[in-house]
Copies of this chain bind each other. A is one copy, B any other.
């Protein structure tokens, strides 16, 4: 079955936040791209309810809101602040009509070295947030990040670990699969089967460049790297997932180019995946 652009969504970080959300939505609609995944920073420029209308009126869907998380903490004050911020993020997702809030859990609390303790904090914090999520209908998608971010962004580095968190907390949770973070994992097929359509809440693509010059902002355009994205897409489909795929490319290169060019390239490369 040939790929269709209405199965593609653009995570707005891919365009380097050069355009306001309204312009991104218009450009996506013109190309036939089916969805958009905004960031919270964009909702400071256009209120979530108005953003929801923009997207709906253009015939697009919101796949997810980026992002909540950073749940690890050093003390009670930081803990309370993180809980507040995540409750606000859940409310924003609900107002935006996003079915999913993407959660990047955070790495080691500053000055610590205990990954197991950090992971326990993540479970405890999500257990406190699940009721608020349930009240809004927004699902929380725990996103395992690449192990190179274990210290400073996510102490959850594998799909299996993220699913362990879901098991421990409850059905309001699920997982976000990002090819860039997990393509190397020999247990990925196993994790996808375990997740199933019920818990696989989103699926993001970009590519791993060789060489990679920067740990944060050197992701590749679809097809420019070594990830077998077509193969992963088959695994995701086999797991029962029917949602859109988000392109999320953090790249100094692409963030500096004309967003119209980046959008067209994403669309072409997605169709060419085969």
A144-176: which residues lie under 8 A (CB-CB) from chain B? 146-148, 150-152, 155, 157-158, 160-161
Q: Which of B119, B184, B215, B225 contacts A147 (CB 8 A)?
A: B184
Choose one: B112, B160, B212; the contact of A215 (CB below 8 Å). B212
B115 adjacent to A150 (CB under 8 Å): no
Q: How close is A116's CB to chain B, nearest CB, in angstroms?
A: 8
User: Inside 8 A of A227's CB, which chain B residues have their CB?
Assistant: 113
Bound together, the chains give a CA A184 to CA B152 distance in angstroms of: 12
| Copies of chain A in the complex | 2
Interface residues of A, dominant DSSP:
loop
Contacts of A151 on B, CB cut-off 8 Å?
208, 210, 225-226
Task: Contacts A146-B147, A148-B148 given; indicate if A226 touches B186 (C-beta within 8 A).
Answer: no
Known: A147-B148, A184-B147, A184-B150. A228 touches B157 (CB 8 A): no
A60: B residues at CB distance < 8 A:
none
Q: Is B211 a contact partner of A186 (Cβ separation < 8 A)?
A: no
In whole Å, how far is A221's beta carbon from the nearest beta carbon of chain B? Answer: 15
User: How distant is the Cα of A147 from the Cα of B179 in the complex, in angstroms?
Assistant: 13
Interface residue tally on A, bucketed by range? 20 to 34
In angstroms, Cα B157 to Cα A74, docked, is 31
Report the separation of the CA atoms of residues A184 and B158 in the bound assembly, to the nearest whole angstrom: 10
Which of A114, A186, A210, A225: most chain B Cβ within 10 A?
Answer: A186
Task: Output the least CB separation between A72 and chain B (Å).
Answer: 13
**A residues whose Cβ falls under 8 Å from a Cβ of B:** 108, 112-115, 119, 146-148, 150-152, 155, 157-158, 160-161, 183-186, 208, 210-212, 215, 225-228, 231
- Besides A115-B228, A151-B226, 12 more A-B contacts (Cβ < 8 Å) are A113-B226, A114-B231, A147-B148, A147-B184, A150-B183, A150-B184, A151-B225, A152-B211, A158-B186, A161-B186, A212-B215, A215-B215
